[in-house]
Amino acid sequence: MSRQTYELEATVRDVIGKGAARALRREAQIPAVIYGDKKPPLAISVSFKEADKRLRAGGFMTTLATINVGGEKILVIPKDYSMHPVKDQLVHLDFLRIGADSTVTVYVPVHVTGSDKSPGIKKGGSVNYAVHEVELLVRADAIPDAINIDISALDFNDTVHISAVKLPDGAKSVSREDFTVISITPPVGADA
């Protein structure tokens, strides 16, 4: 269900602040913070190369990680990251500490299946993603890789709302609205 976890080596940061963060970045390290689970925040630094590789591999914000800080292994999920506005380089990471039975709010990508069987697609229509990600409240150890929506029975102007989507056990949409996730749109000029 959840993506494969990975491990990052980290060191505790004794000095915090802008100057210390810049010095870390010059040494190919990224300043980061681990917080949550009713424990005090922990300022750390991780390898730029390893963190950047994980970020660009996809699924970064929905994949659990183990951070090894001086022999202590801490289970986390990335909660936020900052990129340099010009260089497109990672400059800071925030991790949320995961405890037993923790639930997290994550954005999970939407994927469609059955487009080869959809009457609307066969007649020249296209899939219109109203949203590309769905915000879910889910157990940290059961984060899905994606929300799969079968569109094999959809024709022109048919829609799929979040209430019709089968979510993984224990997961629920954060939104209170019954929003449209997918629709099939006819080609321009077609009789719908």
Per-residue pLDDT of 139-162, as tens digits, reads 988 888 899 999 999 999 999 999
pLDDT of residue 145: 87
In a domain, 192, yes or no: no
Instruction: Tell me how far apart the alpha carbons of residues 8 and 64 are, in angstroms, rounded to a whole number.
Output: 11
In this structure, are 29 and 83 located in the same domain? Answer: yes
37 domain-assigned = yes
Q: Which residue has the higher pLDDT, 2 or 166?
A: 166
- pLDDT band (50, 70, 90) for residue 1: very low
134: containing domain = 104-185
How does pLDDT run across 6-37, given as a tens digit for each residue?
999 999 998 888 999 999 999 999 999 999 98
Residues 27 and 74 in one domain: yes
Q: Is the pLDDT of residue 4 over 80?
A: no
For residues 122-127, average pLDDT: 93
Position 58 scores a pLDDT of 86
pLDDT attached to residue 99: 86
Same domain as 75, residue 12: yes
12 forms beta bridges with: 44
Alpha-carbon span 182 to 179, nearest angstrom:
10
- Residue 77 has a pLDDT of 93
Residue 45: count of CB within 10 angstroms of its CB: 22
Contact 107, 80 (CB under 8 A): no
